[in-house]
C-alpha cells in the first residue's frame, strides 16, 4: 500500500510539473523560423540553443519570426515563463540534415519523485549553451567540462552557490551519458556534465531542491536563495550618443531610467552601454530591477556642449601651429587642451626624372618643395638591369581568380619572374527591370555575369505605385471628379461619398498599427477635407493616441485637390487646421521636416489630448517648436488650440 501511495504521489507531481508547460510549435522554411505557442495566460521568453533571443511569445504575441540560415543542423527552441515555470521545448532542422548525421535518441523524462514539496514554482530561464548536434561526425563534449567517465560511486550533486541569477553546482559519477537539471520537480531542459556546472535561472527568495537525473539515477541538493540586494551603478559616462556605466548586483532584467525617462534595458552585470540621444545639460541615471522591484542608487552626469577652446593657428614649414582645442560652453571644462602642431617641414612634390638612366648608366631625378621652390633635392636613379620580354600567359585569369604571366630576361634566358594577372572581374549583363503599376508590384533592374552567369545584383521588389488621383473641374457644387494620372482610373468624391484609406497609411495608433479611416469632402465647405478614424468598438483601447502622419507629398496631394483645411475626427472629437500652416522647415533650427504627426485622443484622463510632432533627419521624432493654430471641438465645445496639451471644457 505504501508503494502504491508513493507511486500516485510521483504521478501527481509529474502532472503538476507538466501542467506548467505551454505547448510550442516551430517551423523552418527558406531561412525563416516561426515559433508559436498556445499559452494565453502570460509571456514566455524565447531561447534558441540556450541563447536568449530578446523576444517573447504569449498572450499579446502568439508567434515570433527569426532569421536562421540553412546549416543542416538540429536546433533546440525553449520558452521560459518570465514569471513562472519552464514554458516548453521543441527542435527543428535548419534545412536538410546531413545523410550521415547520427540518429537522435529521444530523452526519457525522469521518473524520480521530487524530494521537497515547493511552495511556489521557481522562475527558471536557462542560458547555458547546449552541445550542438553533430554534423558530419559526432561532436565531442565541450572542452570546459569533463566528459563522462567510469563511475567510482553513486551519482552525486553539490550546490556551490546562487548569485545574480547564476546557479553553480558540482556533479560527480555521472556516466556513461550526461544528465539533466530539474528544480523543484520542473525540468530546466539543460544538459549537465561531471564537474562544475553554471546555469542561468531566475529564482525568488526561498529554498529549492536541485535534482540531477541521469542514466537511471537521481541526486539532489538544497538551493538557498537569499533576498536580492539593490543594484549598484558607478562610473557613469556619456559620449557620442552612448550612455555607459558599471552595473553590479542586478538579479533580473534592469530598466535604465535617465531623468525619469526609460532609456532601455540591461540584462547582465558589468559595463553597460546604451544608445540614447541627449541634448547638453545635467541628468540623473538609475537602474530598476523589474523582476524583484529593486531600485539602484542614482548618479548624476553632465552632457557637454562642445565648442572651440581657443583660436586655431595653421603651421608652416618652419613654425609650429596650434589646435583649436575643445571645451564645454555650459560648464567651461576643458575637454581637449590646445595642442601645438609640429611645423610641416618641406612639402616635397613628385620626383621628376631630369636624366634618363640607361643600361649600366645611372640617371638622375629631382623634387621641389611645394612651399618654397628654392628648396630642391636630387638623387640618383639606378642603372638599368634585366631587360624583360613581353612575357607569356602561363595561367589564364578567370572572373574571380588571378592569372599568371611569366617574363624572361632578354639578357639571361634562365632568369624568369611570374607576375599576377588581375582577375577579369564579372562582365555585368542587365536583367531588365519590371515597372510597377498602380495595382501591381515591379522589380528593380538586376545584373548577372555574362561570362560565368553569377548574379552580381539581386532584383528587388518595387511596391505598387497606388493610384495618384488628380482633381478635375467640379461637375457640380458638391461633386468633383478625380482621374489617376498613371492609369486613368476615374473616381468621384462629394459630401455624400466617403472613400476608405484614400491617402494610404496616414493614421496609426500608439502601437504603430495602421488605423482605417474614411475621407470625404465637407458637406458645408468643399475646401475642407474630413478624415474620420473608423474605430473597432469591440477594442476600445485601440483608439488611444491615434496620430495623423502627413508627409510633404500627402500635404501637396491634398492641396492639389483644392483642399485648404483638414478636419480630423476621432471618437466624437474633431480638430481643424490649415494646410498652409504646415511649413517645410522646423523653426527656429531650419531643419527640413520629413513628416508631421498630429495626435488627437479624446480618452485621456482629464480631457482631450492634442499634440503635434515632426520628424527630421533619419526619421528623428521631436516636438514641433512652433505649434500651428487649431480649432478643437470636444463635447460640443469649440476650443482654440495654440499649444500641445490636454484640453477640457
| Res. 234 pLDDT band, cuts 50 70 90 | very high
The DSSP line for 341-392 is EPP----B---EEEE--BBTB-EEEEEEBSS-TT-EEEEEEPPB---B---E
Nearest to 36 by CA among 83, 98, 96, 79: 79
Q: Are 218 and 210 in contact (CB under 8 A)?
A: no
Q: Are 87 and 39 in contact (CB under 8 A)?
A: yes
- C-alpha distances (whole Å) from 380 to each of 355, 362, 384 are 9, 7, 12
Instruction: Find all residues with CB under 8 Å of 495, minimum gap 6, and list them.
Output: 478, 520, 521, 522, 523, 524, 526
- C-alpha distances (whole Å) from 518 to each of 493, 496, 568 are 12, 12, 11
- pLDDT of 537: 59
Nearest to 625 by CA among 579, 584, 587, 594: 587
User: pLDDT by residue (tens digit) across 362-399?
Assistant: 889 999 988 888 888 999 988 777 788 888 988 889 88
Which cell goes with 137? Answer: 561526425
Mean pLDDT lowest among 7-11, 62-66, 247-251, 347-351: 7-11
User: pLDDT by residue (tens digit) across 390-425?
Assistant: 889 888 898 888 899 998 877 767 778 889 889 888
- pLDDT of 138: 35
| Residue 576 clears pLDDT 90, i.e. is over it | yes
Strands (E), 371-445: 376-381, 392-395, 403-408, 416-421, 428-431, 442-443
- pLDDT of 493: 67
* CA within 13 Å, CB half, 27: 4
Mean pLDDT of 202-214: 89
The mean predicted confidence, pLDDT, of the chain is 79
User: pLDDT by residue (tens digit) across 292-340?
Assistant: 788 999 999 999 998 998 899 988 888 889 998 999 999 999 989 999 9
CA distance 631 to 610: 10
| Residue 143 clears pLDDT 50, i.e. is over it | no
Which cell goes with 550? Answer: 502627413
Q: Which residue has the higher pLDDT, 243 or 175?
A: 243
User: pLDDT by residue (tens digit) across 29-62?
Assistant: 888 889 888 766 666 778 787 676 767 777 667 8
| Alpha-helical segments (H) within 459-579 | 552-560
The DSSP line for 594-622 is EEEEEEEETTSTTSEEEEEEEEETTTEEE
CA distance 225 to 4: 34
Query: How many other β-carbons are positioned within 10 Å of the β-carbon of residue 446?
Result: 17
- pLDDT of 365: 94
Q: Are 610 and 600 in contact (CB under 8 A)?
A: yes
Q: Are 442 and 433 in contact (CB under 8 A)?
A: yes
- pLDDT of 114: 31
CA distance 266 to 273: 9
- pLDDT of 148: 54
| Res. 625 pLDDT band, cuts 50 70 90 | low
- Cα–chain-centroid distance for residue 498? 39
Strand 43-48 vs strand 206-214: parallel, antiparallel, or unpaired? Answer: unpaired
User: pLDDT by residue (tens digit) across 471-500?
Assistant: 665 554 445 677 888 888 887 766 456 778
- pLDDT of 539: 59
| Res. 208 pLDDT band, cuts 50 70 90 | very high
| Residue 21 clears pLDDT 70, i.e. is over it | no
Q: Is 110 exposed, middle or buried (0-12, 13-18, 19+ CB in 10 A)?
A: buried
- pLDDT of 47: 79
Mean pLDDT of 571-590: 87
Mean pLDDT of 510-536: 86
- pLDDT of 497: 64
Mean pLDDT lowest among 219-223, 471-475, 562-566, 616-620: 471-475
Amino acid at each position: 500500500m505504501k508503494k502504491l501511495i508513493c507511486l500516485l504521489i510521483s504521478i501527481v507531481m509529474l502532472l503538476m510539473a507538466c501542467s506548467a508547460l505551454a505547448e510550442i510549435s516551430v517551423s523552418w522554411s527558406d531561412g525563416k523560423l516561426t515559433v508559436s505557442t498556445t499559452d494565453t495566460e502570460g509571456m514566455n521568453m524565447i531561447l534558441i540553443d540556450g541563447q536568449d533571443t530578446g523576444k517573447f511569445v504569449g498572450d499579446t504575441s502568439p508567434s515570433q519570426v527569426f532569421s536562421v540560415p540553412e546549416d543542416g543542423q538540429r536546433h533546440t527552441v525553449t520558452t521560459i515563463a518570465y514569471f513562472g515555470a519552464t514554458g516548453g521545448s521543441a527542435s527543428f532542422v535548419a534545412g536538410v540534415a546531413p545523410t550521415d548525421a547520427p540518429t537522435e535518441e529521444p530523452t526519457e523524462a525522469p521518473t524520480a519523485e521530487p524530494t521537497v514539496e515547493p511552495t511556489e514554482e521557481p522562475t527558471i530561464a536557462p542560458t547555458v549553451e547546449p552541445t550542438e548536434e553533430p554534423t558530419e561526425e559526432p561532436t565531442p563534449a565541450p572542452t570546459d567540462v569533463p566528459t563522462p567517465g567510469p563511475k567510482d560511486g553513486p551519482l552525486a550533486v553539490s550546490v556551490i552557490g546562487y548569485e545574480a541569477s547564476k546557479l553553480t553546482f558540482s556533479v560527480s559519477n555521472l556516466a556513461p551519458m550526461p544528465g539533466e537539471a530539474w528544480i523543484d520537480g520542473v525540468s530546466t531542459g539543460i544538459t549537465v556534465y561531471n564537474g562544475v556546472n553554471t546555469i542561468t535561472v531566475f529564482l525568488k527568495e526561498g529554498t529549492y531542491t536541485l535534482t540531477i537525473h541521469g542514466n537511471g539515477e537521481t541526486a539532489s541538493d538544497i538551493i538557498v536563495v537569499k533576498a536580492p540586494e539593490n543594484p549598484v551603478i558607478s562610473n557613469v559616462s556619456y559620449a557620442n550618443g552612448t550612455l555607459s556605466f558599471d552595473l553590479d548586483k542586478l538579479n533580473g532584467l534592469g530598466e535604465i531610467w535617465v531623468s525619469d525617462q526609460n532609456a532601455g534595458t540591461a540584462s547582465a552585470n558589468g559595463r553597460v552601454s546604451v544608445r540614447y540621444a541627449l541634448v547638453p545639460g545635467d541628468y540623473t541615471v538609475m537602474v530598476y530591477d523589474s523582476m524583484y522591484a529593486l531600485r539602484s542608487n542614482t548618479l548624476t552626469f553632465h552632457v557637454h556642449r562642445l565648442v572651440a577652446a581657443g583660436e586655431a593657428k595653421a603651421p608652416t614649414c618652419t613654425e609650429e601651429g596650434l589646435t583649436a582645442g575643445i571645451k564645454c560652453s555650459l560648464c567651461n571644462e576643458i575637454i581637449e587642451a590646445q595642442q601645438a602642431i609640429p611645423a610641416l617641414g618641406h612639402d616635397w612634390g613628385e620626383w621628376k626624372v631630369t636624366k634618363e638612366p640607361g643600361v649600366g648608366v645611372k640617371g638622375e631625378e629631382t623634387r621641389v618643395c611645394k612651399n618654397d621652390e628654392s628648396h630642391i633635392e636630387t638623387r640618383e636613379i639606378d642603372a638599368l638591369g634585366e631587360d624583360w620580354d613581353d612575357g607569356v600567359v602561363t595561367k589564364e585569369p578567370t572572373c574571380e581568380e588571378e592569372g599568371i604571366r611569366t617574363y624572361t630576361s632578354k639578357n639571361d634566358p634562365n632568369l624568369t619572374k611570374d607576375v599576377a594577372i588581375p582577375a577579369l572581374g564579372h562582365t555585368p549583363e542587365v536583367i531588365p527591370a519590371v515597372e510597377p503599376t498602380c495595382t501591381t508590384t515591379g522589380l528593380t533592374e538586376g545584373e548577372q555575369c555574362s561570362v560565368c552567369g553569377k548574379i552580381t545584383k539581386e532584383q528587388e521588389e518595387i511596391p505598387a505605385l497606388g493610384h495618384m488621383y488628380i482633381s478635375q473641374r467640379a461637375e457640380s457644387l458638391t461633386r468633383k471628379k478625380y482621374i489617376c494620372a498613371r492609369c486613368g482610373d476615374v473616381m468621384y468624391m462629394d459630401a455624400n461619398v466617403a472613400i476608405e484609406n484614400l491617402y494610404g497609411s496616414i493614421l496609426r495608433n500608439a502601437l504603430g498599427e495602421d488605423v482605417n479611416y474614411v475621407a470625404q469632402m465637407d458637406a458645408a465647405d468643399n475646401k475642407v477635407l474630413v478624415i474620420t478614424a473608423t474605430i473597432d468598438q469591440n477594442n476600445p483601447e485601440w483608439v488611444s493616441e491615434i496620430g495623423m502622419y502627413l508627409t510633404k507629398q500627402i500635404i501637396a496631394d491634398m492641396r492639389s485637390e483644392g483642399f485648404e483645411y483638414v478636419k480630423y475626427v476621432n471618437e466624437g472629437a474633431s480638430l481643424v487646421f490649415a494646410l498652409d500652416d504646415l511649413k517645410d522647415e522646423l523653426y527656429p533650427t531650419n531643419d527640413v521636416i520629413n513628416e508631421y504627426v498630429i495626435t488627437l485622443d479624446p480618452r485621456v484622463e482629464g480631457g482631450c489630448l492634442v499634440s503635434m510632432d515632426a520628424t527630421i533627419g533619419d526619421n528623428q521624432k521631436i516636438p514641433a517648436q512652433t505649434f500651428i493654430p487649431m480649432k478643437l471641438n470636444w463635447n460640443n465645445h469649440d476650443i482654440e488650440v495654440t499649444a500641445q496639451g490636454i484640453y477640457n471644457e
